[in-house]
Amino acid sequence: MGFIPYGVISKSHGLRGGVRLIIYSADPSNLGVLESVYIKAGDTDKFTEYNIESHSLSGKHIILNLEGVQSIEQADELKGKEVFVQAEQLGRRDEDEFYYHELQGLSVFDKENNLLGNVIKLNASGPQELLEVELENGNEALIPFVEPILVEVNIENKRIVVDPPPGLLDL
């Protein structure tokens, strides 16, 4: 059973134990098929399963009510925790689709095939998704994950091609 990072709990919601989840996907439609989510227990490799009692959309966030989380104090304990799902829960993806966690570690090239660096992660918590890249010179860069800057994502060949505007990688 493989776990996939799905999102992060940003804060509690309401007095009855709801939590606000920021998902790592632009499309929350697969949330409807999820019956449970998993949260790591401390710094271990053990996960605690939480059954989803209900969910609703609130702007770009999802409000989750989890079985066993009945108070604001219990919800606050989950703040900042990463939420995982089982890979099997999400089903198959189309050939041109990918999961955000699949981007981690991919090599990033410019249009002239020069290696720029490697993906640390995709930051999807703001108004625009940003590719966090460790550059070859040891610096980090945030590259907007949008067309026309994003030219190609090839999971199979472990590469991403970007066309950053002049000066972006120098910030």
pTM of the model: 0.65
Task: Categorize the per-residue pLDDT at 92 as very low, low, confident or very high, splitting at 50, 70 and 90.
Answer: low
Q: Which domain-ending residue is among 26, 55, 90?
A: 90
| Dist. CA 166–CA 161, nearest whole Å | 15
Specify if 54 maps to a domain. yes
| Dist. CA 35–CA 27, nearest whole Å | 17
Beta strands 159-162 and 107-110, pairing class? parallel
Shared domain check, 158 and 140 = yes
Domain that holds residue 141: 100-170
Specify if 86 maps to a domain. yes
Task: Categorize the per-residue pLDDT at 27 as very low, low, confident or very high, splitting at 50, 70 and 90.
Answer: low
| Dist. CA 152–CA 159, nearest whole Å | 8
Shared domain check, 105 and 82 = no
**Count: domains in the chain:** 2
| Dist. CA 89–CA 31, nearest whole Å | 10
